[in-house]
Amino acid sequence: MRRLLVLGSTGSVGCNTLDVAARHRDRIEIVALAARCDDQTMFEQIRVFAPRCVALVEAAAADRLRERLRQAGMNCEVLQGDGAIETLASDPESDTVMAAIVGAAGLASTRCAIVAGKRVLIANKEPLVMAGTMMMTEAAAHGATIIPIDSEHNAIFQCLPDHYRCGQAAEGVRRLILTASGGPFRDTPLEKLCTVTPEQAVRHPNWSMGPKISVDSSTLMNKGLELIEASVLYRLPAEALDVVIHPESIVHSLVEYVDGSTLAQLGQPDMRVPIAHALAWPERWSSGVGGLDLAALGRLRFAAPDPIRFPCLQLARHALAAAGVLPNVLNAANEIAVQAFLQGRIGFMQIAATVEQCCDAAVVADLPTPADIPAVLQVDAWARHHALGVLSRRTLNA
C-alpha cells in the first residue's frame, strides 16, 4: 500500500494524480494534501479521500477551509504556511510524494521529501533546473527514489533498461530526443506573434495544463527547461540532448542507443499515463486512459524547431551549456516574464527578450555558486529582482 502525499493537489497534475489514485484505493492511501490557496477544491478532495492532514499556504484560505470542515462535521487537520508543506513532505506518514507545486515555490518541499528518503514523483521542473546536481546528490545520499512525471522524461525513463535509476549515467545511450508539440503558434506567421494574447497562448492544442506551463509550451521554454532537467536526471551533456517538433503529441520522447537502435514511448496526450506509471513502477496499473488507434491517426509528423520562432529554446540551450547559475536565472526570469505577459503588461515576444537580458546580466554579476538552498534562493531572488527592473524600464520606454 502506497501512502501518498500530493503537493499541489488542486492543480492539473494534482487532480490527475487523485483521479488515478481513486482507481486503486486498494493500493494507494491518500494521507495528506497540500496546495496554495484553492480551499474549495481542497474541501472536495478531503470529502472524497479523507486525508489525515492538509496544508494551504495562504492563511485566509486555511481559515475558510477549517470553517467549511467544521460546518460539514468533517475531521481533518489543516496546517498553513510554506513551512507546513515542508513539514508534510518530511513526515514519515507518507512514503510517496507527488511533487507538483508549480515554480520555484516547490523547491524546498521537494528537497524535504528527497532528504526524507521517499519515493519522489517529480512533476515540477524547477527544483531540478534550479538545483539539479544538489538534488540528485542528496537523493543518492538519503536513498530517495526519483521518478519523473513530465511526459517526456517519464517516456525516457520507460525506454531505459529496467535496472536504470535516475541520477545514474545512462549507459549505452547516444542521444535523448524530447518531443514538443510546438504549441498553438507553431504555424502562426512570425509577424503575427507580436500580437498574440494570453488567452490564445494558454489554449494548448493537445494538453490540458495550467496557464504558466501553457505559455511555456507556446514559447518552447518548457522544452528548454526539460533539456536542463534531462541532463540532470540522466547525466548526459548538452550535445547528447535534442528536441524535435511532433504536432500530434503521441510519441513522447525517444532514446537513441549506440548500436543504432531508437526506442520510443507512445501514448495518448494525457498526464494520467505517466502518473500511473510512476505510482505503479515497477508494476503497471490502469490509468483510465485508452490505447492508440494508429490506423486512425494515419501519420505522425516530425520537424526541427525554428530558432527564430522559438528563441526561448535557444536561451535554455545556452544556459545548459554554461551551467553554474544560468539555469536558475533562466527559470526565475522566465517566471516573472510569463506572469507579466499573462497580466497583459508585456507582449508575447518580450518574454524571451526579458529572459535574455537577465541571463546576459548574470554572466557578469557576482552570484554565488548553487551549492546549497540559501545560495540557490539568493540567485533566484536576484534574477526575479533584475527581471522586474527590466520590465519596469521597458514600460517606461514604451
pLDDT tens-digit readout, 324-346:
999 999 999 999 999 999 999 99
pLDDT band per the 50, 70, 90 thresholds, residue 397: low
pLDDT band per the 50, 70, 90 thresholds, residue 125: confident
CATH 3.30.1050.10 for domain 2-148, yes or no, is no
Write down the pLDDT at residue 218: 93
- Which H, E and C letters describe 80-127, residue by residue? ECHHHHHHHHHCCCCCEEEECCCCHHHHHHHHHHHHCCCEEEECCCHH
Measured between alpha carbons, how far is residue 185 from residues 52, 152, 190, 224, 309 in Å?
44, 20, 9, 17, 9
Write down the pLDDT at residue 278: 98
Compute the average pLDDT of residues 258-279. 97
pLDDT band per the 50, 70, 90 thresholds, residue 103: confident
Name the nearest CA neighbour of 8 among 310, 271, 392.
271
Compute the average pLDDT of residues 346-354. 96
**Ranges of each domain in the chain:** 2-148, 150-268+279-317, 324-398
Range with the poorest average pLDDT among 31-35, 177-181, 315-319, 390-394: 390-394
pLDDT band per the 50, 70, 90 thresholds, residue 209: confident
List pLDDT tens digits, range 185-194. Answer: 999 999 999 9
For the chain, what is the mean pLDDT?
A: 94
Check: CB of residue 72 under 8 Å from CB of residue 44.
no
Write down the pLDDT at residue 213: 85
Write down the pLDDT at residue 370: 81
Q: How far is CA 98 from the centre of its chain?
A: 11
Residues 6 or more apart in contact with residue 251 via CB below 8 angstroms? 179, 264, 265, 266, 300
Write down the pLDDT at residue 210: 78
Write down the pLDDT at residue 82: 83
List pLDDT tens digits, range 44-97. Answer: 999 999 999 999 999 999 999 999 999 999 999 999 998 999 999 999 999 999
| Gap between the Cα atoms of 79 and 48, Å rounded | 19
Write down the pLDDT at residue 207: 67
Range with the poorest average pLDDT among 157-161, 165-169, 268-272, 369-373: 369-373
pLDDT band per the 50, 70, 90 thresholds, residue 124: confident
Compute the average pLDDT of residues 153-179. 95
Name the nearest CA neighbour of 181 among 206, 148, 214.
206
List pLDDT tens digits, range 194-207. Answer: 999 999 988 877 76
Q: Does the pLDDT of residue 144 top 90, yes or no?
A: yes
Q: Does the pLDDT of residue 231 top 60, yes or no?
A: yes
Write down the pLDDT at residue 85: 95
List pLDDT tens digits, range 247-261. Answer: 999 999 999 999 999
CATH 1.10.760.10 for domain 324-398, yes or no, is no
Q: What stretches of 235-325 show up as alpha helix (H) in DSSP?
A: 272-280, 294-297, 311-322
Write down the pLDDT at residue 313: 97
Beta bridge pairs of residue 53: 32, 77
Q: Is the pTM of this model over 0.85?
A: yes
Single-letter amino acid code for the residue at 15: C
